[in-house]
A and B are shown apart, each in its own frame.
Chain A
Amino acid sequence: MVDTLLKVEHLNKAYGTKQVLHDINFSVTPGSVTVLLGPSGSGKSTLIRCLNGLEEFQSGQLSFEDQPIKPTPKTWQQLRQKIGMVFQSYDLFPNLTVIDNILLGPLKVQKRSKTEALKQATQLLKEVDLTDYADAFPRQLSGGQKQRIAIVRALALNPEFMLFDEVTASLDPEMVRGVLEVMLNLAKRKMTMLVVTHEMNFAQQIADNVLFLEDGAILEQTPGKQFFTQPQTDRAREFLDSMAF
């Protein structure tokens, strides 16, 4: 087993002349949960989208399982089978049923057998409590249900690393818990995860490490427990205070 699953070195990104990520460095160990915190517009989403190639960046080196990533479309297409991602707006494919949403990757991208993929999909659906919805279309589901399906769709590829980009931000409050519980279960099973969230209680519970981002730079990298009780920077303390009632 490798010591670092993902390593980010000197990552810089700009939109035109506006620099949005400044010299980002961090690494993620297998089985750990990293939570990315920071005020709106600090570059959290941009950063997480760089990690599976949805955003291009100007300079820097990413490595996955100690292998440097050559940022070509082909490499990313391969790697995305190992790096799953779930988005704020669920983004299920409205033209496909729930089960076809889930099976698209395993069958078409990974060319696995239908029987085997279906068996796994059914099991995953059971774990998120949505067995009865296999043949429903996304429009028939609530936000929370859609988001759980989106997580299953990503897990169906057997990823080694999962990216969660504010996955509860557009959910009704009563839907949030179900989705967070799915993520907590994943963490218990030692899935390596990187999570952008504004749910502070959840972050505190799940985080092994916290990256605190402001204006596109990492201000603080601290173990989860310490960050919430003794943040190292004033800026992080202010941020925590502003999030608490």
Chain B
Amino acid sequence: MAHSGINILFEGRNLTRLLGGLWISAKIAFIAIVLGILLGIILGMLRTLKNPLLRVILRLYLEFFRIVPTVVLLFLFYYILPQNFHINLNAEVVATLVFTLWVAAEMSDIVRSGLISVPRHQVDAGKAIGLTTPQLYRYVLLPQSIQLMIPATINLTTRVIKTTSLLLLISVMDVINVGQQIIEANNQHYQNGAFWIYGFIFILYFILCYPLSVWARYIERKEKLRNNG
């Protein structure tokens, strides 16, 4: 085995570059998840208020981000913003922005359905002791629905991390993009380089996503037990 394919990972700076790419993907996913969740909580709360206009607008926002494929969203923001609005953002910023808006849209739906699952009586009881609407959300509705929101939120997180694999399409130097470059550059020496590089990337994504998925299942099961008890 003088010429084992796995060595492609250790040629030159390949490993550092791959991990660097992963870092970019993870960073974009992390920022988008944090900002998106915060924004999504606010939007989700607004969607439970009675204002019909606000509801329609937020509903349209959600449907837009849910229906339009993420690739198309990335292209839209990457090509149309600079051309038609003369806003020049680098690819990483565009990616973070798109992912944040997407997470916020999905999160708003998770938050909304969690909030409306709290019995109406709790709202009455909160109002009856003079809570203002923000206080009602802060002390009564959100604490009671957060348990219900956590599994869906974790699943959303895994989806976001997976979807960062599309970032190469707007030339972000993410882990997939770096991987492709390595494969092409080592084409002569490593004919089956693709197998090892993509295999390695598979493991990286798996390490990021699998614990989250296990955690979500654990919480879901715990919640079921608690409701039975």
Contact = CB atoms under 8 A, between A and B. Distances in A.
Contact of A153 (B129, B132, B140): B129
A78 B132 CA distance: 9
B90 interface: no
A95 interface: yes
- The range of chain B's interface size is 10 to 19
Nearest to B133: A73
A78 B126 CA distance: 13
Contacts of A96: 139, 143
Contacts of A154: 128-129
B127 A54 contact: yes
Interface stretch (A84-92, A125-133, A177-185): A84-92
B130 A93 contact: no
B213 interface: no
A81 interface: yes
B143 A87 contact: no
A240 B124 CA distance: 31
B125 interface: yes
B143 A95 contact: yes
B128 A54 contact: yes
B143 to A, nearest CB: 4
Contact of A104 (B121, B129, B133, B144): B129
Contacts of B127: 53-54, 76-77, 80
Interface string B103-121: 0000000000000000001
Contacts of A73: 133
Contacts of A110: 130
Contacts of B7: none
Contacts of A87: 121, 124-125, 128
Contacts of A93: 122, 125-126, 139-140, 144
Interface string B121-154: 1101111111111010001100110000000000
A71 interface: no
A105 B144 contact: no
Given A93-B140, A95-B143, A105 B121 contact: no
Interface in A95-135: 95-96, 104-105, 108-110
B124 A108 contact: no
A94 interface: yes
A43 to B, nearest CB: 17
B123 to A, nearest CB: 9
A77 B130 contact: yes
A77 B127 CA distance: 7
Nearest to B129: A105
Contacts of B128: 52, 54, 80, 84-85, 87, 154
Contacts of A77: 127, 130-132
Contacts of A194: none
Nearest to B147: A95
A108 B139 contact: yes
Nearest to A156: B129
B10 to A, nearest CB: 53
B139 A104 contact: yes
Contacts of B135: 108-109
Given A104-B129, A104-B139, 4 more contacts: A77-B127, A87-B124, A93-B144, A95-B143
7 contacts: A53-B127, A54-B124, A80-B128, A87-B128, A92-B125, A93-B144, A104-B139
Interface of A: 49, 52-54, 73, 76-78, 80-81, 84-85, 87, 89, 91-96, 104-105, 108-110, 150, 153-154, 157
Interface of B: 121-122, 124-133, 135, 139-140, 143-144
Top 10 nearest A-B pairs (CB, nearest first) are A91-B125, A105-B129, A109-B130, A85-B128, A95-B143, A80-B130, A81-B130, A91-B121, A95-B144, A54-B124
